[in-house]
């Protein structure tokens, strides 16, 4: 990835050469390997990004920032890059590919508003909604879109009458060229945000994202938007996509959309937190389409350049600069407002609590038991008094280092504002839920369950027979089961027995991650406490303010055994 100081140096070089009537340009290397829908790359393949010649068009792009306003790079560094390219004589646009307003303390405490304010200050031109833009509710997100000084676009986010909620694309004319930015939301939004937010009071869907089993509906909506943009005079079509490349995103991955459409020049992707500098994927006509993504939490800033001859390149910037101080000051003002509460020490842990594998550094909370997963699930079960507790791995967001634990640390683990509920369930429903949880193992699934009160085995040699509908909602288990030897406490589970289950409203009431088997169950405790408050109260009141040796094993207490 290219360093920011190199861009500033290049600016000086280009300006000096321009004074002599000469233009400097350095081309970027690019990987030619097509991207499959099941592949995620976590390291970049090149070390060079295009240094554009004077008057090139530059589009800066980010995705999955998740409130990481200055964790790695920051929005101030995004402005630094913009300023550098503008001093080189280029027209610069900034776009966001989803999941900006949720994921950390500053978003949670302001319900996304502080992030929109920062994006306004940074000068964003257009954005696409990610699935987590809806985590504060539909009404709240639509309020935030009105506060934004930039438009949101989506070609496949529609209401019950099929009417688009936003424009399918935004046309921006730059240096005499028309750039159409087409928004594409993942149809997984229905289940990876809160399904109830897309329903009316009767439980009927009133919002849709072009979901079906084959992907054809989404491909058709994308093609219609691209065709409309071309008919509107677009010289270039850039997809602002929040689709992802993981197997769980199929049939709606970014590569599948490219393979089944024509007319797109570049796909700027989000959702999977993948890092792609410049990959080439063949479209329906066999033409190369660039696919690129910047990772998450602003580990990099994407730079797309369109040269005067029409050549397009993409690359990544990953070094800090000093030229975005006005935005930095704005960020600091927002952080100061929340600092006292965020930094308050509320507990202590003797052991590091993991969502990642300490041996490899890879995330495991979405595919394996972890000690932090055990702790979170225990908090739900013990505070509620339920027999069993579930916490979805996608809802446990960060590890907690050994030492003092602040309120901010707790919010970072559970930033979504979900609320604890308890329902009555049958043993058969528990078995179905465990089968749904295990369907993707060893691959990741945000709905992989961290559990309390249960012990069982997952046999990955058995092919999953879980059936889901067009929206990835659970329908049934149609064949052999992967999950075996299930115990509730010390007793084998009884499919006909009634148990009490604790989790949060996202899963138990709103069918989050596709867990539809609980939607009509009797609710015993309804939204009694926020998820981060559940965890904090358990540590303080039950564990005496300290997480000790019971949770020392990063791989948990042996509740889930996986046979590979």
**Rounded distance between C-alpha atoms, residue 472 and residue 492, angstroms:** 29
Residue 126 pLDDT exceeds 80: yes
Claim to verify: residue 157 and residue 248 sit in the same structural domain? yes
Which of 228, 248, 222 is closest to 444 using CA atoms? Answer: 248
Range 43-58 average pLDDT: 58
Higher pLDDT pick, 183 / 20: 183
DSSP category for residue 54: T
Decide which of 109 and 461 is more confident: 461
Residue 372 shares a structural domain with residue 294: no
Residue 321 and residue 371 in one domain: no
Closest residue by Cα to residue 468 from 495, 504, 432, 425: 432
Structural domain count, the chain: 2
Beta bridge mates, 30? none
Residue that wins the pLDDT comparison between 154 and 38: 154
Sign of CA dihedral 239, 245, 250, 255: positive
pLDDT at 261: 98
Of the three residues 336, 368, 388, the one that is the final residue of a domain is: 336
| Nearest residue to 281 via CA among 307, 314, 306, 310 | 314
Domain that holds residue 147: 4-336
For strands 91-96 and 126-127, give the pairing: parallel
Of 285, 306, 336, which marks where a domain is finished? 336
312 and 426 belong to one structural domain: no
pLDDT of 54 reads 57
Higher-confidence residue: 484 or 49?
Answer: 484
Instruction: Give the bridge partners for 280, in sequence order.
Output: 290
Of residues 460 and 89, the one with the higher pLDDT is 460
Q: How many CA atoms lie within 13 A of 546 on its CB side?
A: 4
Q: Cα(365)–Cα(121) distance, rounded to whole angstroms?
A: 35
What pLDDT was estimated at residue 4?
54
Give the pLDDT score at 12. Answer: 39
With CA atoms as reference, report the closest residue to 302 among 291, 314, 320. Answer: 314
| Neighbour order of strands in the sheet with 403-406 | 403-406, 345-349, 546-547
Confidence of residue 50 (pLDDT cuts 50, 70, 90): low
Are 508 and 386 part of one and the same domain?
yes
The CA distance from 452 to 292, in Å, is 39
How far apart, in whole angstroms, are the C-alpha atoms of residue 81 and residue 354?
34
Mean pLDDT for the stretch of residues 86-114: 90
How many C-alpha atoms does 501 have within 13 Å on its Cβ side?
A: 31
Q: Could you give the 3-state DSSP secondary structure of residue 221? A: helix
Q: Out of 302, 336, 370, pick the residue that ends a domain.
A: 336
pTM of the model: 0.75
Residues 330 and 427 in one domain: no
Where does the pLDDT of residue 34 fall: very low under 50, low under 70, confident under 90, or very high at 90 and above?
A: very low
CATH number of domain containing 441: 3.90.780.10
How much is the mean pLDDT over the chain?
Answer: 88
307 plus 262 within the same structural domain: yes
Spell out the long-range contacts of 2-6 with Cβ–Cβ below 8 A and sequence spacing 24 or more: 2/47, 2/48, 2/49, 2/303, 2/315, 2/316, 2/317, 2/318, 2/319, 3/317, 3/318, 3/319, 4/77, 4/80, 4/81, 4/84, 4/317, 4/318, 4/319, 4/320, 4/321, 5/319, 5/321, 6/319
pLDDT exceeds cutoff 70 at 36:
no
Distance CA 255, CA 241 (A): 11
* 423 and 525 belong to one structural domain: yes
Mean pLDDT across the stretch 91-101? 96
Q: How far apart are CA 445 and CA 434, in angstroms?
A: 13
What does the pLDDT look like over 447-474, one tens digit per residue?
A: 999 999 999 999 999 999 999 998 899 9
pLDDT band at 321 (very low <50, low <70, confident <90, very high): low
Same domain? For 321 and 357 the reply is no
User: Tokens 């109260």 label which residue?
Assistant: 537
End-to-end CA distance of the chain: 36
Domain shared by 476 and 347, yes or no: yes
> pLDDT by residue (tens digit) across 347-404?
999 999 999 999 999 999 999 999 999 999 999 999 999 999 999 999 999 999 999 9
Gap between the Cα atoms of 196 and 511, Å rounded: 7
Pick left, alpha or beta for residue 64 (phi over 0 → left; psi -120 to 50 → alpha; otherwise beta): left
DSSP 260-308: T--S--EEE--SS--EEEEEEEE-TTS-EEEEEEE-STTS-EEEEEE-T
pLDDT digits (tens, 9 = 90+) for 139-178: 999 999 999 999 999 999 999 999 999 999 999 999 899 9
What local confidence, expressed as pLDDT, does residue 458 receive?
98
Instruction: Clarify whether residues 329 and 383 are in a common domain.
Output: no
pLDDT of residue 48: 45
In degrees and rounded to multiples of 5, residue 46 shows phi and psi of -135, 165
Place of tokens 């028309």: 178
- Cα separation, 167 vs 474, whole angstroms: 32
**Which range (33-42, 218-227, 383-392) has the least confidence?**
33-42
Query: How far apart, in whole angstroms, are the C-alpha atoms of residue 378 and residue 390?
Result: 9
CB 278 within 8 A of CB 292: yes
- Strand segments, DSSP code E, in 413-497 are 420-426, 449-452, 454-459, 466-468, 474-477, 483-488, 491-492
Indicate if 373 and 467 belong to the same structural domain: yes
At residue 259, does pLDDT exceed 60? yes
CATH number, domain at 150? 3.60.21.10
């Amino acid at each position: 990835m290219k360093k920011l100081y190199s861009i500033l140096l290049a600016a000086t070089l280009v300006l000096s050469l321009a004074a002599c009537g000469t233009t400097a340009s350095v081309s970027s290397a690019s990987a030619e390997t097509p991207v499959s829908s099941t592949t995620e790359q976590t390291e970049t393949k090149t070390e060079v990004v295009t240094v554009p010649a004077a008057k090139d068009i530059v589009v800066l792009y980010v995705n999955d920032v998740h409130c990481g306003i200055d964790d790695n790079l920051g929005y101030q560094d995004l402005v630094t890059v913009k300023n550098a390219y503008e001093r080189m004589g280029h027209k610069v646009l900034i776009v966001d590919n989803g999941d900006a307003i949720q994921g950390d303390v500053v978003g949670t405490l302001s319900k996304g508003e502080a992030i929109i304010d920062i994006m306004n200050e940074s000068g964003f031109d257009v954005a696409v909604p990610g699935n987590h833009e809806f985590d504060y509710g539909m009404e709240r997100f639509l309020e935030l879109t009105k506060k934004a000084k930039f438009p949101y676009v989506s070609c496949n986010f529609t209401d019950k009458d099929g009417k688009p909620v936003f424009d399918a694309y935004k046309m921006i004319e730059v240096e005499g060229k028309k750039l159409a930015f087409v928004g594409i939301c993942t149809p997984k939004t229905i289940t990876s945000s809160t399904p109830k937010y897309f329903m009316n009071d009767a439980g009927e869907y009133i919002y849709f994202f072009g979901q079906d089993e084959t992907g054809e509906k989404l491909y058709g909506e994308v093609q219609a938007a691209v065709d409309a943009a071309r008919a509107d005079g677009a010289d270039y079509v850039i997809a602002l996509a929040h689709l992802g490349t993981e197997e769980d995103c199929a049939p709606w991955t970014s590569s599948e959309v490219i393979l089944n459409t024509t007319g797109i020049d570049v796909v700027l992707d989000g959702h999977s937190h993948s890092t792609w500098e410049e990959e080439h994927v063949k479209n329906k006509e066999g033409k190369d389409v660039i696919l690129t993504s910047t990772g998450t939490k602003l580990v990099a800033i994407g730079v797309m350049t369109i040269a005067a001859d029409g050549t397009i390149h993409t690359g990544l910037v990953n070094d800090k600069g000093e030229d975005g101080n006005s935005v930095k000051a704005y960020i600091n003002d927002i952080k100061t407002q929340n600092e006292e509460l965020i930094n308050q020490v509320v507990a202590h842990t003797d052991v590091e609590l993991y969502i990642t594998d300490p041996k490899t550094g890879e995330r495991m909370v979405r595919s394996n038991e972890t000690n932090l997963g055990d702790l979170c699930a225990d908090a739900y079960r013990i505070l509620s008094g339920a027999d069993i507790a579930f916490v979805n791995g996608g809802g446990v967001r960060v590890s907690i280092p050994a030492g003092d634990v602040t309120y901010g640390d707790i919010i970072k683990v559970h930033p979504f504002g979900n609320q604890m509920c308890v329902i009555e369930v049958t043993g058969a429903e528990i078995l179905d839920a465990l089968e749904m949880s295990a369907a993707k193992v060893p691959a990741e699934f945000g709905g992989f369950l961290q559990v309390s009160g249960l012990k069982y085995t997952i046999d990955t040699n058995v092919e999953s027979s879980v059936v889901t509908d067009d929206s990835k909602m659970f329908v049934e288990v149609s064949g052999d089961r992967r999950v075996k030897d299930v115990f509730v406490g010390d007793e084998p589970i009884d499919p006909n027995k009634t148990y009490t289950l604790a989790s949060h409203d996202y899963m138990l009431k709103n069918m989050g991650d596709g867990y539809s088997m609980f939607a009509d169950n009797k609710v015993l405790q309804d939204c009694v406490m926020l998820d981060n408050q559940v965890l904090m109260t358990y540590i303080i009141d039950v564990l005496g303010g300290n997480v000790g040796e019971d949770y020392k094993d990063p791989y948990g207490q042996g509740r889930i055994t996986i046979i590979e």
